[in-house]
Amino acid sequence: MSRARVVVTGLGGLCCLGTDVTAIWESMRNGVCGITPLAIADMDDLKPTIAGQIGELPDAGLDRRQLASMGRFGLLSIIAAGEALAQAGLDARAQADMRVGAVIGTGVYGADAVEESYRSVFLEGRKRTEIFTVPKAMPASAAMQTSIIHGLRGPVLGVTSACTSSNHALATAFDLLCMGRADAIVAGGAEAPLSYGVLKGWESMRIMAKTACRPFSRDREGLVLGDGAGALVLETLESATRRGATILAEICGVGMCADALDIVSPSVEGPAEAMRLCLKDAGLSPSDVDYINAHGTATQANDRIETQAIRSVFGPHADGISVSSTKSMHAHCLGASGAIEAIACIQAIRTGVVPPTANHTESDPDCDLDVTPNVARKRKVNVALSNAFAFGGANAVVAFRAW
């Protein structure tokens, strides 16, 4: 029995490159880096001094009571989902016969709410925290708030698997749709890690860049964190056809596995296996792939190992694939990165433009792929892969195909 085909009918997102998909893509294709000097309280005590910060948020149409009960990453998810649903022409309340769900990933949690509670109790001497601390902080909050605000009554769940959270959310939604659990699902991720406590934790790992995010460049010095959210409306082909929806691309396969090796050190074998599984699931051969949006965090080990993994899977065809890390522009949004990078893959397919790896200054013989340095490249993209690899050895790869 053949499984249902799953297509993308809507995109939404916001990050330091812009507060909608049009602005994000325009910045990406022009190689604009949105990373700026960090502007949060207690900055003088932090070694990381740059971040991917979102400017003023668009009006989400929420009242004060709604805003009081949600953390920042929940609000980002709601905004991204609203844009994606609008493009898909999908109003879950008006189209009550449809089963529309939400699967939203996050790599951390509502850190801003937890930090606010610590400050109120330990620094300000209050007897109790703000009443909505738990609903704001719980990792599933973004999915639940997205469901409530947009009236999504289908399967709703949060996914958390560090930096693979968005790709696992997309894979979970894909599987739910293939199994007939829903007609459409808003899938993606949201993250708001730019709080003092989270940044101090990352600082301790000594993998944070001081000047710029330079994936695959010999002088790369580490990753940069950023706020962000991305949402895709995934829909069965049957549902999209019945509604007359515009199909942006097809999500044609996923691959997931674990290194089962180390909590922080990556392996070559795990990422390679995830890419192989994705190709097999999609019915693709290595020569079918035109573009890979790499995990590309700009740490010394990650970029070298991802290069080796790509070469082990694609062999000689690796030299014919365009590769780039858009984290060089929008920073590492942790659990939201995969969703933002999925937008990059779909837009590359739709426009025939591969976004660049920004801030690239010097080729590294250990990263000897075509990493599209600094300037976007025009090429036909029929198939694009989005790679996500995480602490703990979680690996998730998603394949998109032109419609």
Which residues are part of the catalytic machinery?
163, 295, 332
Cα angle 107, 110, 87; round to 5: 70
Question: How many angstroms separate the CA atoms of 345 and 349, rounded?
Answer: 6
- Cα 20 to Cα 42, 228, 231: the distances in Å are 30, 11, 11
Cβ atoms of 77 and 231 closer than 8 Å: yes
Cα(267)–Cα(393) distance, integer angstroms: 8
CA–CA separation, 81 and 100 (whole Å): 12
Q: Which amino acid is at 72?
A: R
Strand-pair category, 50-51 with 36-37: antiparallel
Question: Which two structure tokens, joined as six digits, stand for 44?
Answer: 């003088």
| Nearest in space to 104 (alpha carbons), one of 137, 83, 78 | 78
Of 166, 180, 158, nearest to 235 (Cα)?
A: 180
Query: Burial, 289: exposed, middle or buried (Cβ in 10 Å; 0-12, 13-18, 19+)?
Result: buried
Q: Order across the sheet with 322-324: list the strands.
A: 156-159, 100-105, 184-191, 228-236, 6-15, 249-258, 394-401, 383-389, 291-293, 322-324
Which residues touch 44 (CB under 8 Å, ≥6 apart)?
none
